[in-house]
């Protein structure tokens, strides 16, 4: 919760957040529900749930359609105690909010209404809406924005600096259509008045739907105040199709890149770096061009991630080096000063301090001890067709190039494995392991072969 909502400023206020996710999303042209499409490595629904939770929501209800079990499952995955309400008939946004009637009636001080397809709204914006409600002078807070082209948006109609009405575009007069202050759709409602206001909304409009935007007129009729808060247009961007999804991704990436650089990381070519929503970079981290961070990556101070690398579910220790062209899959943990080189793939691998896996290797389901050296072309054979098995490489061990480590197997500390060896049993500490067929030579054979073939 923001500092402006701390107990020092206001008495403890309870909050219900209602996230509307019942839209069909036909313009996405997808078998996946619209709100499950991802921005920066998480679903839009998850992004909205995180934002309202950060603003201090004590309880969240997600409103879904009757055929949207996948949305309900995603909501519960992100927030196990979330409430699910079903809007059986789609009759407008106010009708959708009232699908959560039972939760509304529970008596929360503040009610936030958010949309699962509006993923860029910041926690701080929701907090500001709560602050406006906490002042006690308004029953409805509407989030608005200035539109370059207001066509299709509901207009916020102001009178003497006060929000007088929200007029849907299709129902607006010619004069009202000239207004550029538009409705973003998100609302804050005083809990004490919420059901009275929502039940007062009618459907006397061209679509015969119950518009949440009519709550302002309902408030005015009941002598209750409404106000507008203005947010940047980009922040309240809705996503209805793949073009808008790409725009939301671009806006989120710009935000994340800026946060990373202001936090002390160097991005050599910022526009080419892709972040996940939770990527964490320490001070003096250097990220070279065309790096992709999937969810769950933490990079400690002083590390360098070289070009064209892909990291997901990974922690990188201080002063470690990754790449170029490296792939670090979930469960990879690099200790301080570890090095992962070009065309190396790791998965569920613990790599000790100062250890090196520099070239063309796959190390999966493994632990590599401090200062061990894994030569080019080394493969941990971790899968037998039924299950995964671990490989252990001790501190200071040296694994020669083109070695196959058939798990489960362990190489002791300080051991040396000769190039080209297939290791099928444990190697003792400080031992040399070498498995290589004896080289046979046949003098003159190559010349006779070429003559026979006419070469």
Give the DSSP per-residue string, 121-185.
--HHHHHHHHHHHHTSS-SEEEEEEE-SS-TTSPEEEEETTEEEEEE-GGG--TTGGG--EEEEE
Beta partners for residue 50, in sequence order: none
DSSP H helical ranges for 61-122: 69-78, 93-97, 101-104
**Exposure b/e, 60-79, CB count within 10 A at least 16 = b:** bbbbbbeebeebbebbeebb
Burial of 155 (0-12, 13-18, 19+ CB in 10 A): buried
Helix, coil or strand: residue 24: coil
DSSP H or E run through 2:
none
Helix, coil or strand: residue 256: helix
Sorted by sequence, the CB contacts under 8 Å of residue 12 that are 6+ apart come out as none
Give the DSSP per-residue string, 376-441.
TT-EEE-B-SS-B--EEE-TT-EE-TT-EEESSEEE-TT-EE-TT-EE-S-B-TT-EE---PPP--
Tokens 């509006």, located at residue = 118
* 379-381 vs 422-423, strand pairing mode: unpaired
Please state, in angstroms and as integers, the Cα–Cα distance from residue 87 to each residue in 20, 64, 233, following that order. Answer: 10, 6, 29
Give me the catalytic one of 59, 68, 95, 359: 359
For residues 354 and 348, what is the distance between their CA atoms, to the nearest angstrom? 18
Give the DSSP per-residue string, 261-277.
HHTT-EESSGGG-B--T
Instruction: Establish whether 389 is a catalytic residue.
Output: no
Active site residues: 359
């Amino acid at each position: 919760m923001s500092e402006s909502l701390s107990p020092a400023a206001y008495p403890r206020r309870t909050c219900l957040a209602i996230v509307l996710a019942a839209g069909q999303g036909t313009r996405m042209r997808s078998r996946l529900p619209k709100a499950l499409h991802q921005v920066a490595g998480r679903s839009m629904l998850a992004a909205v749930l995180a934002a309202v939770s950060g603003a201090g929501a004590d309880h969240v209800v997600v409103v879904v359609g009757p055929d949207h079990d996948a949305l309900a499952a995603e909501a519960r995955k992100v927030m196990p105690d979330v409430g699910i309400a079903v809007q059986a008939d789609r009759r407008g946004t106010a009708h959708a909010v009232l699908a959560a009637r039972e939760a509304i009636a529970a008596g929360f001080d503040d009610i936030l209404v958010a949309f699962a397809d509006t993923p860029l709204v910041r926690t701080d914006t929701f907090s500001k809406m709560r602050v406006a409600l906490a002042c006690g002078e308004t029953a409805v807070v509407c989030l608005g924005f200035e539109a370059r082209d207001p066509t299709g948006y509901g207009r916020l109609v102001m009178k003497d600096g006060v929000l007088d009405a929200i007029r849907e575009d299709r129902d607006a007069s010619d004069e009202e259509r000239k207004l550029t202050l538009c409705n973003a759709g998100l609302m804050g409602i005083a809990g004490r008045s919420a059901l009275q206001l929502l039940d007062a909304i009618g459907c006397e409009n061209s679509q015969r739907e119950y518009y949440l935007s009519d709550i302002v007129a309902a408030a005015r009729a009941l002598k209750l105040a409404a106000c507008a808060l203005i947010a940047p247009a980009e922040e309240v961007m809705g996503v209805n199709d793949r073009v808008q999804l790409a725009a939301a991704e671009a806006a989120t990436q710009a935000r994340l890149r800026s946060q990373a650089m202001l936090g002390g990381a160097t991005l050599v070519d910022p526009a080419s770096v892709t972040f996940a929503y939770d990527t964490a970079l320490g001070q003096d981290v250097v990220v070279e061009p065309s790096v992709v961070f999937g969810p769950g990556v933490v990079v400690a101070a002083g590390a360098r991630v070289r070009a064209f690398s892909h990291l997901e579910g990974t922690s990188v220790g201080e002063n470690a080096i990754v790449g170029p062209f490296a792939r670090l899959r979930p469960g990879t943990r690099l200790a301080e000063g570890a090095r992962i080189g070009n065309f190396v793939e790791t998965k569920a691998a613990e790599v000790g301090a100062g250890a090196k896996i520099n070239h063309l290797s796959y190390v999966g389901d493994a632990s590599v001890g401090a200062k061990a050296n894994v030569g080019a072309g080394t493969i941990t054979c971790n899968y037998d067709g039924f299950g995964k098995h671990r490989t252990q490489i001790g501190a200071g061990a040296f694994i020669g190039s083109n070695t196959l480590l058939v798990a489960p197997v362990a190489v002791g500390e300080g051991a040396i494995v000769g190039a080209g060896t297939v290791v099928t049993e444990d190697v003792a500490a400080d031992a040399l392991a070498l498995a290589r067929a004896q080289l046979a030579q046949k003098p003159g054979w190559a010349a006779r072969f070429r003559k026979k073939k006419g070469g």
